[in-house]
Structure 1
């Protein structure tokens, strides 16, 4: 049996906070690998802010290229449409029943779990892992494994806004991701469609 972490998201763009979270969860829980799972059309994201999925997939690929235990999962992208965690986890469990899956979320997301699509069935399929955040309650009606990590106040929103204002995001995103953003002029005000 492999113990596999799942880190889903829009990754618009991926940044060192994502990598640090994945690394800490993998290390602290002794997982075999982490699958980074970009979503096709997240149900809760402003689509005007998201660059096309092809770009987001390539940025994730570049972000994890040097991490032997980090994999890129394309299930949601290939399925298309709105991405629901339940559908993805059900597909993973069906295709790989020998694995135990751990779905990683930021501590601030734990409070929203009751609103997740088919959450009562989802918690039967996957173990949720919450990454602790300061001043965030660690109570939930669902079983959560909590992982400690120093607070890293980095967001994809901040990175996008900084780039739009011609600021530096060096060291906030992996170099290969930054190169791709510059090559494709993603997030800049002069962005080509």
Structure 2
């Protein structure tokens, strides 16, 4: 059975922290592949992304093109609208019944899992790989048993890179070299993304 890690996000833009996180999950979770699934619209985000869905999909494709274990899947963008993990996972399980899926999340989101849409049903379909950073603290006692047994942790180095910070730097014409893959940075420049209006 093929084991697949699901890495969802807006990837606005994708950066090296995302790639390091995916590799950490791949190693610890003994996954065959990690599938990057850019959202069309994320339900828990307070602000909409500043790059279009097609630009974000292309940046992910460019960022992972040299790693055969990393794939991009546009299932959420094809569906459109708000992206709920349960809808995506249900569709993937139906499409790939012989695959086992693990949902990769930042460990800071483990305590929020109980708030996810139809989380009990989701926990029946996938396991969760929490990317544990040195500064993280969990409240395991508040996580229900049905979730706790479905969560494993992967060591994640503390990397102070965020898409928000990258967008802010780019809007001020500051360099983000080494924070995003070179091919992604070239794409951003070519399409004049995240520049101040």
User: What is the TM-score with the length of structure 2 in the denominator?
Assistant: 0.93
Structure 2, unpaired ranges of 5+: none
Instruction: Specify the alignment match of 2:86 in structure 1.
Output: 86
Task: Render the CA deviation track for 1:66-102: whole Å, top value 9, x for unaligned.
Answer: 1111000010000111100000000111111111100
Instruction: Specify the alignment match of 1:185 in structure 2.
Output: 192
Query: 3-state SS of the aligned residue for 2:4?
Result: strand
User: What is the TM-score with the length of structure 1 in the denominator?
Assistant: 0.95
Instruction: Specify the alignment match of 2:118 in structure 1.
Output: 118
Give the ranges of 4+ consecutive aligned residues of structure 1 lying more than 3 Å apart after TM superposition.
Answer: 46-49
Counterpart-to-counterpart distance in 2, 1:110 and 1:145: 10
The within-5 A match list for 1:17-166 is 17-133=17-133, 134-137=135-138, 139=140, 140-141=143-144, 142=147, 143-166=150-173
Q: How many residues matched? A: 190
Counterpart-to-counterpart distance in 1, 2:191 and 2:46: 21
Query: 3-state SS of the aligned residue for 1:127?
Result: strand
CA contact (8 A) 2:128 2:152 kept: yes
Counterpart-to-counterpart distance in 2, 1:44 and 1:101: 22
The answer on 1:174 being equivalent to 2:175 is no
CA contact (8 A) 1:107 1:138 kept: no
Counterpart-to-counterpart distance in 2, 1:105 and 1:9: 10
Post-superposition shift, 1:50? 2.8
CA contact (8 A) 2:29 2:129 kept: no
